[in-house]
Structure 1
Amino acid sequence: MPIMTTNPALARALAERGYTEPTAVQLAVSAPETSGRDLLVSAQTGSGKTVAYGLAMAETLLGNDEGFGPAAAPQALVVAPTRELALQVQREFEWLYAATGANVVSCVGGMDPRAEQRQLSRGAHIVVGTPGRLRDHLERGRLDTSAVQVAVLDEADEMLDLGFREDLQFILDATPPERRSLLFSATLPRGITALAKRYQRDALRIEVTGAEGGHADIEYRAIRVAPKEIEHAVVNVLRFYDAASAIVFCNTRETVRHMLATLQERQFSAVALSGELSQNERNAALQSLRDGRARVCVATDVAARGIDLPSLGLVIHADLPNDAESLQHRSGRTGRAGRKGVSVLLVPPFRRRRTEDMLGSLGVTPTWSGPPTADDIRKLDHERMLRDPLLTDEASEDDIAVARTLLEQHPAEHLVAALVRHYRAALPAPEEVADPGEARSPRERATGRGFGGPSGAGGGTWFRLNIGRRHRADPRWLLPLICRRGNLTRDDIGAIRIFDDESAFEVAAAALDRFSEALRTPDGSNVAIEPLPGGPRPSRPERPGRGRPPRDGQKDRPASGKSFRDKPAQGKPADGGPREPHSPGRPPRAHPNKFGGKPAGKGRKRP
């Protein structure tokens, strides 16, 4: 028997579905010591836990019987954090319990509650739903939980994060106290253990680690990309991997809309998935991915949990996630249940350190590279064309007859060229994307090598910022600010020198055109950048005790006597620093803020 279950009906369903090897979590919940007990299970997304608790429930609901009796009040209740996850659980249960005659009813937000009421009134064996909708049915007397024998909380940590604690407590309080409780969570923070202590009896704690930890079947790649070339990099990554289906994650609904329009304009069959869509629109988008009508889904983190697309081979983080847990759940959409997948992070240079910290906290070491080039993609297109069924499948007699007619009228080389044009016409064109390059090593920065140092190219152009020492200017946030504002990388910037009322920085000659083009686009802030002919000079004499004039032949130096680009900044590094000047050393509240708003004074919150 491929998975340890004593129920013949479920064993047949698993065999028909092609389950040849159980996952670690499925083995763990099927072990003899779990029989009849409450379970507190820590298992990562994509580990096969839906089937795991489906099997664990069957022991209580069916025993060795092969079928349910007539449907009445539900015998099992499964609570999930999102509509997508709840509907996915319903689909999994429908094939797992198909031979038992189980009636599985879903109750989720965004769907017609009256239709759900009619289904509940006709009777159900298992109810799967989201916390808010289940509580609504309970309060209105539409859901009878008096016969519940098993209650399951799936992705319990996510439900607590979403603020469903009171709803969960209301639902569990409405079930019989002798019912069996199965609690599944990716992590086990204090809130989860408190919930388990209150609603479980002598629960067996199971922690699934190792190969099922969420990364074994996922290849992580980190791609260096300039901030203004992220959309082009997404196009090239999609073209390079050519996955059967892919998800592109963005952080906001507006970014989703913009990315979707960009991809559709470039001939990708793409759909969107975000919180602003109705449930029917979200269901339609997912169905188009499942049946192959769409190959790319552009989504916010609403899609990071509870979506299982069997053909999903690629996850792209166009916007980097806010924390390691979000990264893990996003990436967990691929590499599921033994299938291989790729998770690609697009990393601007000033976000590299933060990205490394995030991945390191997950125990992941990615492969770093620049974005796929147009030449790389064209080479792969050539190889894929040679393997295309159009060429490899055996031709019919009609095809051969037409081919002979064409050969009589056109040279063979002309016909093959037409075939190549036809093949390429269906492919989105790759983009020309530059690699910002590797950041300089600490030794290079310390010795001044690279741009602006003794062995560098030199010859940079100086610019002035209207922020200085009186505004508490600090290189830890000035450097990423300049990078974002000017579409630069750290290696495009030479020395940064801070004076009383202004700061100066040097831009490499090779990046000057790109920097000047970026400055033409207003960013809505009150931070002004302008050329500084002749190099940096303080706007007023330095105060006594603040340093001494440079000797003849020496370059100007800040009051500290050192260039901030010649020595690594102490404390939090620039590429892992705050997104805006909100760290120690930021401008005082009297100074216009980076966002272009009014100064934050007394009685006014900071931006």
Structure 2
Amino acid sequence: MAFPPTSAPLARALSERDYQEPTPVQSAVLEPAAIDRDLLVSAQTGSGKTVAYGLAMATTLLGESERMERAGDPMALIVAPTRELALQVHRELTWLYAQTGARVVSCVGGMDPGAERRNLHGGAHIVVGTPGRLRDHLERGVLRLGGLRAVVLDEADEMLDLGFREDLEFILDAMPDDRRTLLFSATLPKDIVSLAGRYQKNAHRIAVGGGERGHADIEYRAIRVSPRAAELTVVNVLRFIEAPSAIVFCNTREAVRHLLAILLERGFAAVALSGELSQNERNHALQALRDGRARVCVATDVAARGIDLPNLGLVIHAELPHDPEVLQHRSGRTGRAGRKGISVLLVPPMRRRRAELLLGAARVNASWSGPPSADDIRKLDQQRMLQNPLLTEPAGEEDLAMARALLAERSPEDIAAALVRVYRSQLPAPEEVFDPGPERSVRDRDRERVPAAAGPRTVGAPTAAPRSRIARSVWFRLNVGRQKNADPRWLLPMICRQGMITKADIGAIRIFDRETRFEIDEQVVEAFQAAVARVERGDVRIERVPEGEVRAAVAASAPSMPGQVRRKERPARVNRAVA
């Protein structure tokens, strides 16, 4: 479908940018019923709405002309909730209106207000800004809105959520009554409808179909991760899914700093975006992503509001978002303007239920799997190397001459091995991670419980901590017992942390005088041993109990007089599957 008729210079700009067909929201604002009217538009982030309202304003600003008149007081004002979004809109409108001679000026918090004042004094056709900075320029008399013909409120729901209602009303009250008001919002809660009713006249309502069900161009994946292995899984996901650029979301600034350090240490070209950075630092980080010097951005939700990165093919939720709206906002950084994207949620077993609720509330379906393994990534590396331009592009005479010289001195196998080493040296090494498996429900665990053998408590017998039973298990021990105040309250978290497992994977715990023995579900034993082996040796050491020793211990603890158990003393619990 071709673009509907629009201003000739804007049509040429679209053609130069290879815009071949409009998105639904761009088509809707150019329909005859929407021309020269106030618009109330509900459309998700990433639907192409910046170009949409740029096109919608064209007839109001240009009429039948192809060039703007000499710049003076602004003819159009775009208000956006964040600096990043305002600067992004400034860039979009600059190229869209380039052939009209339009002067587009930005006014955002964190930038030099003196430079902005000079730009406004020099005249502007379109001004883009954030509510606080625009109000400041209005109160100082620098920004004059008497000649305004159109105003756009972009992501109006976010502006109200961020507490800008008073600033918005101040700005809108300063405008002439005969201007057009175009209000764009992802959702239309009561506050937005109330704002529209107060400041719009006979607005034409546009609701882009499917806006409430997430993005059709985004593939959602949920990856099971073991506790404390989320950062390593991020490494493997970035290696497994080769997107031109990716963004990884964390919930706190501290988590951003920690994950950024891990990625940089492993050789990723990564930058950070968080609220503690200055605007200048943010601008440098975003520019590095746009010009290809960085491939990965680690960010908090607040810092990433409204940013649009080129070729962003992958979003990773290193920590689960707090609500479905945040999930959609994060994921909406990719899959924009008709391009495909992937959104990956990293889900520890104990958070699976929460992840399922988030996905259900957001009305999106996700495919579940374990994390990409190191072997999976190595196999992909082999395939990608064979498709690398170094091997697929035809060689020049100089290349062939050097190749012949190398073949005269080295075998083909030696040369190929050197090429492989060079290729691998440019890639971060994959991490050894494992699939913890889906968390079992309480009902499933009850089915797997095995009755415990009861016997009388004797002097020196182990203290048994009550734990849910597992069908098949392997016994381990650690070198801490009653003499060192061993207690399940701190032993359980420590075992889970060192072995990268969950409490559901641990069966009986038997505390002796000098050591503690515990069961591990047979399904996770291999991964548990591998995780424990990587832990730096300290005061507490975990090792597997030999099978013969387990059988001897179980036999020794069998009661000689069944049924004689003191009422106030808990009997030792033994897993019969082991015996």
- Give, in whole Å, the separation in 2 of the partners of 1:555 and 1:223: 48
* 1:101 and 2:101 are equivalent in the alignment: yes
Relative to 1, partners in 2 of residues 1:448 and 1:174: Cα closer, same or farther, differing over 3 Å? Answer: same
Paired letter, 2:520:
A
The aligned counterpart of 1:10 is 10
* 1:379 and 2:379 are equivalent in the alignment: yes
Relative to 1, partners in 2 of residues 1:447 and 1:172: Cα closer, same or farther, differing over 3 Å? Answer: same
Relative to 1, partners in 2 of residues 1:87 and 1:149: Cα closer, same or farther, differing over 3 Å? Answer: same
The aligned counterpart of 1:92 is 92
- 1:163-312 equivalences under 5 Å are 163-210=163-210, 214-312=214-312
- Give, in whole Å, the separation in 2 of the partners of 1:458 and 1:411: 50
Given that residues 494 and 505 in structure 1 are in contact (C-alpha distance below 8 angstroms), is that contact kept between their aligned partners in structure 2? no
Deviates more, 1:62-71 or 1:88-97: 62-71
Relative to 1, partners in 2 of residues 1:179 and 1:444: Cα closer, same or farther, differing over 3 Å? Answer: same
The aligned counterpart of 1:39 is 39
- Give, in whole Å, the separation in 2 of the partners of 1:241 and 1:190: 41
- 1:52-91 equivalences under 5 Å are 52-91=52-91
State the Cα deviation string for residues 294-346 of structure 1 (Å, max 9, x = none): 11111111343322222111111112211111111111111111111111111
Paired letter, 1:20:
Q
- 1:199-598 equivalences under 5 Å are 199-210=199-210, 214-441=214-441, 443-448=443-448, 453=469, 455-457=471-473, 464-465=487-488, 487-494=500-507, 508=520, 510=525, 511=528, 552=563
Relative to 1, partners in 2 of residues 1:169 and 1:553: Cα closer, same or farther, differing over 3 Å? Answer: farther
Paired letter, 2:385:
M
SS at match of 2:138: helix
SS at match of 2:40: strand
- Give, in whole Å, the separation in 1 of the partners of 2:509 and 2:68: 74
Given that residues 485 and 518 in structure 1 are in contact (C-alpha distance below 8 angstroms), is that contact kept between their aligned partners in structure 2? no
SS at match of 1:445: helix
Relative to 1, partners in 2 of residues 1:290 and 1:145: Cα closer, same or farther, differing over 3 Å? Answer: same
Paired letter, 2:267:
Q
- Give, in whole Å, the separation in 1 of the partners of 2:195 and 2:225: 43
Given that residues 43 and 211 in structure 2 are in contact (C-alpha distance below 8 angstroms), is that contact kept between their aligned partners in structure 1? no
The aligned counterpart of 1:583 is none
- 1:119-158 equivalences under 5 Å are 119-158=119-158
- Give, in whole Å, the separation in 2 of the partners of 1:558 and 1:158: 60
Given that residues 483 and 490 in structure 1 are in contact (C-alpha distance below 8 angstroms), is that contact kept between their aligned partners in structure 2? yes
- Measured after TM superposition, the shift of residue 178 of structure 1 is 2.1
- Give, in whole Å, the separation in 2 of the partners of 1:350 and 1:518: 26
- Measured after TM superposition, the shift of residue 424 of structure 1 is 0.7
Unaligned runs of 5+ in 1: 468-477, 498-503, 523-533, 536-550, 564-607
Given that residues 475 and 518 in structure 2 are in contact (C-alpha distance below 8 angstroms), is that contact kept between their aligned partners in structure 1? no
Q: TM-score, normalised by structure 2?
A: 0.82
- Give, in whole Å, the separation in 2 of the partners of 1:554 and 1:396: 88
State the Cα deviation string for residues 385-432 of structure 1 (Å, max 9, x = none): 000011111111111111111111111111111111111111110000
Paired letter, 2:330:
R
The aligned counterpart of 1:527 is none
- Give, in whole Å, the separation in 1 of the partners of 2:138 and 2:389: 55
- Give, in whole Å, the separation in 2 of the partners of 1:519 and 1:347: 29
Given that residues 220 and 365 in structure 1 are in contact (C-alpha distance below 8 angstroms), is that contact kept between their aligned partners in structure 2? yes
Paired letter, 2:97:
Y
- Give, in whole Å, the separation in 1 of the partners of 2:243 and 2:360: 27
Paired letter, 2:77:
L
- Measured after TM superposition, the shift of residue 521 of structure 1 is 11
SS at match of 1:183: strand
Paired letter, 2:421:
R
- Measured after TM superposition, the shift of residue 2 of structure 1 is 2.6
Given that residues 2 and 19 in structure 1 are in contact (C-alpha distance below 8 angstroms), is that contact kept between their aligned partners in structure 2? no
- Give, in whole Å, the separation in 2 of the partners of 1:395 and 1:212: 51
SS at match of 2:146: coil
- Give, in whole Å, the separation in 2 of the partners of 1:505 and 1:415: 53
- Give, in whole Å, the separation in 2 of the partners of 1:317 and 1:76: 37
Relative to 1, partners in 2 of residues 1:340 and 1:397: Cα closer, same or farther, differing over 3 Å? Answer: same
- Give, in whole Å, the separation in 2 of the partners of 1:56 and 1:496: 69
- Give, in whole Å, the separation in 1 of the partners of 2:239 and 2:446: 40
The aligned counterpart of 2:577 is none
Number of residues paired by the alignment? 518
- Measured after TM superposition, the shift of residue 227 of structure 1 is 2.5
- Measured after TM superposition, the shift of residue 13 of structure 1 is 1.4
Relative to 1, partners in 2 of residues 1:168 and 1:518: Cα closer, same or farther, differing over 3 Å? Answer: farther
- Give, in whole Å, the separation in 1 of the partners of 2:263 and 2:343: 19
Paired letter, 1:80:
A
Given that residues 172 and 199 in structure 1 are in contact (C-alpha distance below 8 angstroms), is that contact kept between their aligned partners in structure 2? yes
State the Cα deviation string for residues 82-117 of structure 1 (Å, max 9, x = none): 111101111111111111111110000111101000
Relative to 1, partners in 2 of residues 1:71 and 1:354: Cα closer, same or farther, differing over 3 Å? Answer: same
Q: Larger Cα Rg: Structure 1 or Structure 2?
A: 2
- Give, in whole Å, the separation in 2 of the partners of 1:366 and 1:554: 52
- Measured after TM superposition, the shift of residue 22 of structure 1 is 0.9
Unaligned runs of 5+ in 2: 451-466, 511-515, 541-552, 555-561, 574-579
- Measured after TM superposition, the shift of residue 53 of structure 1 is 0.7
Given that residues 304 and 329 in structure 1 are in contact (C-alpha distance below 8 angstroms), is that contact kept between their aligned partners in structure 2? no
- Measured after TM superposition, the shift of residue 485 of structure 1 is 9.6
Q: TM-score, normalised by structure 1?
A: 0.79
Given that residues 245 and 289 in structure 2 are in contact (C-alpha distance below 8 angstroms), is that contact kept between their aligned partners in structure 1? yes
Given that residues 227 and 502 in structure 2 are in contact (C-alpha distance below 8 angstroms), is that contact kept between their aligned partners in structure 1? no
- Aligned residues: CA RMSD: 3.3
SS at match of 2:181: strand
SS at match of 1:345: strand
Deviates more, 1:269-278 or 1:339-348: 269-278
- Give, in whole Å, the separation in 2 of the partners of 1:163 and 1:482: 45
- Give, in whole Å, the separation in 2 of the partners of 1:84 and 1:360: 30
Given that residues 236 and 374 in structure 2 are in contact (C-alpha distance below 8 angstroms), is that contact kept between their aligned partners in structure 1? yes
Given that residues 493 and 505 in structure 1 are in contact (C-alpha distance below 8 angstroms), is that contact kept between their aligned partners in structure 2? no
SS at match of 2:428: coil
SS at match of 1:206: strand
Relative to 1, partners in 2 of residues 1:415 and 1:520: Cα closer, same or farther, differing over 3 Å? Answer: closer
